[in-house]
Structure 1
Amino acid sequence: MDERKIDTEGCQGIKFRNVTPAVFSCMKKKLQAYGIETSPGNSGVFEGNGIVADFSWDGEANLVIEIRERPLTTYCGQVSGKLKAFMRECQGF
């Protein structure tokens, strides 16, 4: 059984800017391909691979992700690094 850590210390929120509708859609597809289910719409929860996070996109440019749970063996930096890599791929960098 995978153990998860409730983030009582809290990973820092991850804020992305210049997130167009196409980039937001791409980001959700990347998460789903990675095994993480995402709520429909501009805000909600994504969950999978031991990670639970809230997300909120303003529909224009700003996306905020707050990690609530993660596997005990996974650091905040690993999760945020993967999210940032997905974002770079979606923005074409």
Structure 2
Amino acid sequence: MGFSMTGRKIDTEGCQGVRFKNVTPEVFSCMKKKLQDYGIEVQSGNSGMLEGNGIVAHFSWDGEANLVIEIKERSLNTYCGQVSGKLKAFWRECQGL
């Protein structure tokens, strides 16, 4: 089934690639700050790992407009929709800068 009793689920479906458009450098740095304020460590640079608050994800930004965040691991009580919803909320907030 893909579920384990360790309290974490390795994702094979559902969490693949949350995509964001219109991510300017300002929006990107705003999103990184919001993630850090939320308790998620973000590696510096345009791509790398996000980790914290029960999730492990990889992010990749093209330096101009397109950001993709792929959730690799999450705690069992965290749903993909919750994570992508939170990311999208940060994106919308940052769009309004």
Q: TM-score, normalised by structure 2?
A: 0.89
RMSD (Å) for aligned C-alpha atoms: 1.4
1:24-55 deviation line (CA, Å, top 9, x unaligned): 00000000000000010000000001100000
Q: Is 1:6 aligned with 2:10?
A: yes
How many residue pairs were aligned?
92
Structure 2: unaligned runs, 5 residues or longer: 1-5
Structure 1: unaligned runs, 5 residues or longer: none
Structure 1 runs (4+) greater than 3 angstroms displaced: none
Choose from 34, 37, 53 the match for 1:30: 34
Choose from 52, 58, 64 the match for 2:62: 58
**Percent identity, aligned pairs only?**
80
Equivalent position amino acid for 2:23 in 1: V
Q: Who is 1:16 aligned against? A: 20
Q: TM-score, normalised by structure 1?
A: 0.93
Equivalent position amino acid for 1:14 in 2: V
